[in-house]
A = this chain, B = another copy of it.
Amino acid sequence: MIEGNETLSGRMTDAGHELLARVYYADTDFSGAVYHGRYLEFLERGRSDFLRVLGVHHTDLQAGHTGEPLFWVVKRMEIDFVAPARIDDVLTISTRVAEPGKARIRMAQEIRRGGALLIAATVEAAVINDAGRPRRFPKEWLALFATPGAQAPNSGEMS
Q: Which residues of A contact B (CB under 8 A)?
A: 2-9, 20, 22, 24-26, 28-33, 35-38, 40-41, 44-45, 48-49, 52, 57-59, 62, 71-81, 84, 86-88, 90, 128, 130, 132
Interchain residue pairs with CB less than 8 A apart (18): A6-B8, A22-B49, A24-B41, A24-B44, A26-B44, A28-B30, A29-B29, A29-B30, A30-B32, A31-B72, A31-B128, A36-B40, A36-B77, A58-B87, A62-B87, A73-B84, A77-B79, A84-B132
Q: Give bound CA distance, A6 to B29, whole Å.
A: 28
Docked-complex contact A86 and B71, CB < 8 angstroms: no
Closest to A120 in B: B76
Query: Could you say which residues of chain B place their CB within 8 Å of the CB of A24?
Result: 41, 44-45, 48
Inter-chain CA distance A48–B25, complex, in Å, is 9
Per the bound structure, the CA–CA distance linking A58 and B31 in Å amounts to 10
B40 close to A90 (CB less than 8 A): no
Known pairs A5-B5, A26-B29, A79-B76; A37 contacts B35 (CB<8 A): no
Q: Which 4 A-B pairs have the closest CB atoms?
A: A37-B40, A28-B30, A31-B71, A3-B8
Say whether, besides A9-B22, A87-B59, A37 and B31 are in contact (CB < 8 Å). no
A18: min CB distance to chain B, Å: 13
Q: Is the CB of B41 within 8 A of A37?
A: yes
Q: Among B3, B9, B31, which residue has its beta carbon within 8 angstroms of that of A25?
A: B31
